[in-house]
Structure 1
Amino acid sequence: MEYLDFELPIKELEDQLDKCQIIGQESDVDVSSTCKQIEQKLEETKKEIYKNLTAWQRVQLSRHPNRPYTMDHVRALCGETFLELFGDRGVKDDKAMIGGLGKINGQSFMIVGQQKGYNTKTRQYRNFGMANPEGYRKALRLMKMAEKFGIPVLTLIDTPGAYPGLEAEERGQGEAIARNILEMIRLKVPIISVIVGEGASGGALGIGVGDRVLMMENTWYSVISPESCSSILWKSWEYKEQAAEALKLTSADMKRQKLVDDIIPEPLGGAHYDRDTTFKTVEEYVMKAFNELKDLSTEELVAQRMDKYSKMGEYNE
């Protein structure tokens, strides 16, 4: 297990507990009471740390290397039923954007999401979860296919942003994202979006227009990352913690501003501490959202979606 800087008190107590248990196993000394005291202290410390997380600490948790990525969720939700589909039928297959058909609780879904890598090699292969225009065009192709066959769409968002390279701009990155937003607004099947990690900028919004938008508890959703915001406003990354607070990017902030519909709770310590519980909770919330949408007519579905997004934000005429 890897620990973040604010989790070091937990690491120290877990190390103490391990040593205590080893002593009990290797000697005749009864250390059960000591171990119980350490376990109690460990539980109290975890609760104290995780109930008072700052916005920046939640950003750190959303990037935790042990956190479940999109394909982890897909495998847990769909098992062997997931059939991955490839290519945008124009340029190539973007490995940062995955998509395909799968069944969750017996219900078919077209699943689309960004996938990060697990190590240096796979991170390069997946372009760190940053999709090119062909990734967004692949996503749109699959969503239009789902519309044709009346299959609901599930999008899983986890990206530091769309790829900002010169080649991506030459191939129409902005147009691809804008096209996705336009087409998703009027898609004639239910769309459920779940932010499972980072939800940064247009890279997230390109697959994030949904009838129900759900955020996992320790994720973030914002027009810009705290580091980039800090570098623009203060000309340095040193103020990323202040930027995170100012951006109001946590799940609680997003729910308060009515930009997302619900928050999916995570186990104490984050999704990586208890993956099985995390996957079961995500499934429950996805199916709950689908059951709320499945009986709506096409006209009601599109009208409610358009009305939802037209009401967002404050403006003066």
Structure 2
Amino acid sequence: MRTYLSFETAVADIDARLDELRAVAEKGDSPALAEEIARLEARADKALADLYANLTPWQKTQVARIQGRPRFGDYVKGLITEFTPLAGDRYFGEDEAIVGGLGRFEGESVCVLGQEKGDDTASRVQHNFGMARPEGYRKAVRLMELADRFGLPVISLIDTAGAFPGVEAEERGQAEAIARSTDACLALGAPNIAVIIGEGGSGGALAIAACNIVLMLEHAIYTVASPEAAASILWRDSSRAQEAATGMKITAQDLIRFGIIDGVIAEPLGGAHRDPQAAVAATGHAISDGLKSLHGLSPDELRNARAEKFLAMGRKI
């Protein structure tokens, strides 16, 4: 069953009419009906293309969050072979919001990290909606240090509204865990590349995204705080989230212009949720190109390039 966002009413109406005509066409051949279906299909594609070419930041936020958009597990399944998940931070326990492990990407051994939001109610609860506790970031540090020891490239797939804000997370050192994870990213002597596949929320995203190359899917968002949280902080009114999203410059198109990210990965017509396999494949090509561009750099060159990349952002601002 297709899912439509509130601003996709016109497309939904055309698709509903198409479904009706296709049901009639299945009962018998009709050249006139086939022509009408072809005309409506072209109209639907054009309406979708026009709509998605001019999405507002708030609309992109909705697309980035929509059910059916490929999640971390979909990318691992589509891009990584022989994936072996590794659990636990060796301090407190296992956090399932951040999933990580070792596998092969295009035949090369890699370490893969990312937030998993889940696909249904049970899996979302299991993975805490992709919001990691301190042990998740400490697990990420452990895996990055393991990758560094063996010279394995690190691929981070980012999809989180932010780190878990609960009392128990603060009691166990959430801020310190995020800081150490960010530091581990910056200190890696192996190449690392991050892709914002949905939401890139605050320090919860940056903790595993301080990489040599940072990419974003076309309709993903990367934020210092969610639009709702920003509206609550600025105006004490979360209903002004749409206004906050516009002012925060959270889209891939804004962020590449500011030099915050390094590339934008085109999504299938109508968003990654309409053709997940194509979105995963396009992301794989972009990761491959990124890793090839880093091939041959020494550990010191990788660290220096990474440091210069983030220092340059402050100079621009």
Place the TM-score, normalised by the shorter chain, in its bin: over 0.9
Paired position in structure 2 for 1:173: 174
Paired position in structure 2 for 1:47: 49
Q: TM-score, normalised by structure 1?
A: 0.97
Contiguous gaps of at least 5 residues in structure 1? none
* Contact 2:70 2:280 survives alignment (8 Å): no
Query: Aligned-pair distance for 1:25?
Result: 2.3
Paired position in structure 2 for 1:64: 66
CA distance in 1 between counterparts of 2:204 and 2:278 reads 28
Query: Aligned-pair distance for 1:27?
Result: 4.8
Query: Aligned-pair distance for 1:180?
Result: 1.3
**Secondary structure of 1:155's aligned partner:** strand
CA distance in 1 between counterparts of 2:105 and 2:62 reads 30
CA distance in 1 between counterparts of 2:53 and 2:120 reads 30
Q: Is 1:119 equivalent to 2:120 in the alignment?
A: yes
**Secondary structure of 1:47's aligned partner:** helix
Q: Quick one: which of 76, 79, 103 aligns to 1:77?
A: 79
Letter in 2 for 1:138: K
Query: Deviations 1:124-183 (Å, cap 9, x if unpaired)?
Result: 111110000000000000000000111110111000000011110010000001111122
Query: Aligned-pair distance for 1:314?
Result: 4.3
Query: Deviations 1:184-213 (Å, cap 9, x if unpaired)?
Result: 211111010111110011100111100000
Paired position in structure 1 for 2:36: 34
Query: Aligned-pair distance for 1:228?
Result: 0.8
**Correspondence list, 1:130-149, <5 A:** 130-149=131-150
CA distance in 2 between counterparts of 1:122 and 1:279 reads 21
Letter in 2 for 1:276: Q
CA-based RMSD: 1.3
**Secondary structure of 1:32's aligned partner:** helix
CA distance in 2 between counterparts of 1:24 and 1:273 reads 24
* Contact 2:144 2:184 survives alignment (8 Å): no
Query: Aligned-pair distance for 1:258?
Result: 0.2
Query: Deviations 1:22-67 (Å, cap 9, x if unpaired)?
Result: 1222256541121122112111211111111000111101001100
Paired position in structure 1 for 2:248: 247
Query: Deviations 1:218-251 (Å, cap 9, x if unpaired)?
Result: 1011111111111222222221111101000000
Query: Aligned-pair distance for 1:311?
Result: 1.3
Paired position in structure 1 for 2:97: 96
Paired position in structure 1 for 2:3: 2
CA distance in 2 between counterparts of 1:315 and 1:83 reads 41
Query: Deviations 1:61-88 (Å, cap 9, x if unpaired)?
Result: 1001100001110110014x11111100
Paired position in structure 1 for 2:196: 195
**Closer, same or farther: CA 183–31 of 1 in aligned 2, 3 Å:** same
Deviates more, 1:259-268 or 1:37-46: 37-46
**Closer, same or farther: CA 2–315 of 1 in aligned 2, 3 Å:** closer
Letter in 2 for 1:274: D
CA distance in 1 between counterparts of 2:158 and 2:13 reads 33
**Secondary structure of 1:313's aligned partner:** helix
CA distance in 1 between counterparts of 2:95 and 2:240 reads 34
Deviates more, 1:176-185 or 1:163-172: 176-185
Q: Is 1:218 equivalent to 2:219 in the alignment?
A: yes
Letter in 2 for 1:9: A
